[in-house]
């Protein structure tokens, strides 16, 4: 079983749509959780951290369920500029290594 597994993509959605990505992790000792965004042929960049209480940043909402070892990312009112690969990331502890999922590709069409 992979340490971090994401929905297989790609997701093709029209502008304005709401899209949700799901992710599960295998190690219950995982301490912190993130979503990174990676544009085509670019490096990953932090999109947002994920907290147990859930957190929102504009059109983006992240949720964490520690009991189910499940992380989600919701994007509302999708924009063309949201087209990218979204990477679910788990950290085993402060200063520890990041474990990346395989990524879910999103393509937003006009």
Partner 1 sequence: EAGVAQSPRYKIIEKRQSVAFWCNPISGHATLYWYQQILGQGPKLLIQFQNNGVVDDSQLPKDRFSAERLKGVDSTLKIQPAKLEDSAVYLCASTVGGSYEQYFGPGTRLTVT
> Does residue number 22 form part of the binding site for partner 1 (CB under 8 A)?
no
User: Which one of 11-19, 62-70, 73-81, 84-92 is the stretch in contact with partner 1 (CB under 8 A)?
Assistant: 84-92
Instruction: Supply 103's token pair.
Output: 């990524």
Which residue lies nearer to partner 1 by CB, 17 or 105? 105
Q: Write down the least CB distance from residue 75 to partner 1, Å.
A: 19
Tokens describing residue 67: 């009991």
Minimum CB separation of residue 33 from partner 1 in Å reads 10
Question: How is residue 29 annotated by DSSP?
Answer: T
Q: Which of 14, 58, 95, 110 forms a contact with partner 1 (CB under 8 A)? A: 95
What backbone torsions phi and psi does residue 82 show, to the nearest 5 degrees? -80, -10
Q: What is the dihedral of CA 85, 45, 52, 70, to 10 degrees?
A: 30
């Amino acid at each position: 079983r992979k340490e971090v597994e994401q929905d297989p993509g790609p997701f093709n959605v029209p502008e304005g749509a709401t899209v949700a990505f799901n992710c599960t992790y295998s190690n219950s000792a995982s301490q912190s959780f993130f979503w990174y965004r990676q544009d085509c042929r670019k490096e990953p960049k932090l999109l947002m951290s994920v907290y147990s209480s859930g957190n929102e940043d504009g059109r983006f909402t992240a949720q964490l369920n520690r009991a189910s070892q499940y992380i989600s990312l919701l994007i509302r009112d999708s924009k063309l500029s949201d087209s990218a690969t979204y990477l679910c990331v788990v950290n085993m502890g402060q200063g520890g290594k990041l474990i990346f999922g395989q990524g879910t590709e999103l393509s937003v069409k006009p």
